[in-house]
Amino acid sequence: MVGEKKGTEQQDLIRLENLVKIYGSGAVRVKGLKGINLTIKRGEFAAIMGHSGSGKSTLMNIMGCLDRPTEGHYYLDGTDMAELSSDQLSAVRNLKIGFVFQSFNLISRTSALKNVELPMVYARIPRQKREARARELLERVGLEARITHMPNELSGGQRQRVAIARALANEPPLILADEPTGNLDTAASVEIMELFSRIHQAGATVVVVTHEENIAAFTQRIIRFSDGQIISDERKVPVCF
Ligand SMILES: Nc1ncnc2c1ncn2[C@@H]1O[C@H](COP(=O)(O)OP(=O)(O)OP(=O)(O)O)[C@@H](O)[C@H]1O
Ligand SMILES: [Mg+2]
């Protein structure tokens, strides 16, 4: 039967096959990814590391369905993303993926509550239900006292917690975070990583890009990039605090 998932395949939330990304054309072509093969199982907590320009964001944007590869295949939950229309990809982004950015990407002049409600508006969740869930999510990230605050009335760490609550809105199985602690001090960074650990423990698959070893230490697997290629991939015992 088409679409049937069996055995080990069922455990693979992400499967990347020979993924190539080329930016530009002609003489200004840049190879962002040079043939990536990678599998991330359901329930994993992984870090992607590598120097600036090595292709981490390029990969995250493809895994987050914000961009498409030039060559190769991306299977999310067993479905080849290349076969989906842009409308179908938007639905996948809304329901299956929560994306967290370094610069938070909250909507300014819009309360924390409304920011968290937004993915549920797109998913056509009725107003009362989405408001109740947004409150619950803000409580879960420790911001119950900041519900009506605008992004510019929040600290960096608090803004990122709103962004994480928003990423969780439709209970996606996959959370992708591209340098989520890049704009935060050490204390706020630790809080954010503890939050990702709790989200992972609650059942989500979490992939975090970071430059910092102490941030990657919160995860269970470190995938290292160099020049558009994976140079190492290690699973390890997580650090406990
Ligand atoms: N939109 C684009 N157009 C052209 N080239 C791009 C584009 N986005 C990225 N690149 C190039 O692709 C390569 C990989 O970039 P990418 O942003 O994935 O790196 P990164 O590992 O995320 O780096 P950083 O740690 O600085 O965020 C770089 O050489 C970059 O210049
Ligand atoms: Mg990047």
In this predicted model, what pLDDT tens digit does every residue of 135-189 receive, in sequence order?
999 999 999 999 999 999 999 999 999 999 999 999 999 999 999 999 999 999 9
211 Cα nearest atom in ligand 1: 25
DSSP 161: H
pLDDT at 1: 41
Provide the 3-class DSSP secondary structure of residue 176.
strand
Distance 57 CA to ligand 2 centre (A): 4
CATH number of 42-65+84-235: 3.40.50.300
Q: Give me the DSSP letters along 92-159.
A: HHHHHEEEE-TT--PPTTS-HHHHHHHHHHHTT--HHHHHHHHHHHHHHTT-GGGTT--GGGS-HHHH
Distance 183 CA to ligand 2 centre (A): 13
Q: In this structure, which ligand is nearest to the CA of 54?
A: 1
Distance 95 CA to ligand 2 centre (A): 24
CB 40 within 8 A of CB 176: no
Closest Cα to atom 12 of ligand 1: 32
Query: Among candidates 225, 118, 142, which has minimal Cα distance to 178?
Result: 225
Give me the mean pLDDT over the 4-32 stretch: 85
Residues 89-135: pLDDT tens digits?
A: 999 999 999 999 999 999 999 999 999 999 999 999 999 999 999 99
Distance 124 CA to ligand 2 centre (A): 32
pLDDT at 25: 87
Other CB atoms within a 10 A radius of the CB of residue 114 amount to: 19
- What are the domain boundaries of the chain? 42-65+84-235
Question: Is the minimum distance from the CB of 238 to ligand 1 under 6 angstroms?
Answer: no
Closest Cα to atom 10 of ligand 1: 32
Distance 210 CA to ligand 2 centre (A): 9
Question: Is the minimum distance from the CB of 52 to ligand 1 under 6 angstroms?
Answer: yes
Give me the mean pLDDT over the 28-43 stretch: 96
Q: Would you say residue 2 has pLDDT above 60? A: no
31 Cα nearest atom in ligand 1: 12
- Burial class from Cβ neighbours inside 10 Å (0-12, 13-18, 19+) for residue 19 reads buried
